[in-house]
Amino acid sequence: MNKELWEKAVAFHGHECPGLALGVRLCEYVQQKLGLGVSHDEELVCIAETDSCPVDAVQAILSCTVGKGNLLYRPTGKTAYNFYNRTTGTSVRVVVRRNSTELTREERMRQILEAPLEALFTTTEVKYPVPETARIFNTLTCALCGEGVAEHMARLQDGKVVCLHCFRAYDR
């Protein structure tokens, strides 16, 4: 395990934990599988199926972020991550192998940090098509609250543009 990557992830996440350890190892695994380091723009894309601690390592180490548009969250309740290398067209879905051994938090973290990568992860075909690159949308003004809202998230209600907070859904 790369100590420098670990320290970078801990600084971003705020503390050491088994989930972050899993994320650091996930990043190492993905770098090996897809042959990429840090994503300066949107060369590497991650669709995370969980919003837990490993995602912070993906942000800190691989530079996949929500703001940059190359980190997307699609909740499935699985500790699985779909990665796409836009440069080469390759992709991989990485699923964390379950480990139900009774260990303390410290023992679990050490086990994750020291285990061979193949013992921690398995790969399958990706579950989603590669997402389009991030788009920039016009900002509209909500007719009710006056706040700005991205055009693709606005709704039309009574002939006026409204944000999702002000929109009254009709779902009987």
41 vs 147: CA distance, rounded Å: 29
Sequence-ordered list of residues with C-beta below 8 angstroms from that of 152, at least 6 positions apart, any chain: 137
Q: What is the pLDDT of residues 57-76, one digit of tens each?
A: 999 999 999 999 999 999 99
Nearest CA among 30, 22, 33, 88 for reference residue 64: 30
48 vs 62: CA distance, rounded Å: 13
Using DSSP's 3-state secondary structure scheme, residue 34 falls into: helix
DSSP H or E segment with residue 141: strand 139-141
pLDDT per residue, tens digit, the chain (172 aa), is 788 899 999 999 999 999 999 999 999 999 998 887 777 788 899 999 999 999 999 999 999 999 999 999 999 999 999 999 998 999 999 999 998 889 999 999 999 999 999 999 999 999 999 998 888 999 999 999 999 999 999 999 999 999 999 999 988 8
Domain residue spans of the chain: 3-124, 136-172
Q: Which pLDDT value is given to residue 61? A: 96
End-to-end CA distance of the chain: 54
CA 86 to chain centre: 16
Q: Which fold has domain 3-124?
A: 60s Ribosomal Protein L30; Chain: A; (3.30.1330)
Q: ∠169-73-115 over CA atoms, to 5°?
A: 155
151 vs 119: CA distance, rounded Å: 45
Using DSSP's 3-state secondary structure scheme, residue 107 falls into: helix
* Class at the top of the CATH hierarchy for domain 136-172: alpha beta
Sequence-ordered list of residues with C-beta below 8 angstroms from that of 13, at least 6 positions apart, any chain: 20, 53, 56, 57, 60
* CB-based contact 64:44 (threshold 8 Å): yes
Query: Which contacts (CB < 8 Å, 24+ apart) does range 158-164 have?
Result: none
| Identity of the residue numbered 70 | N
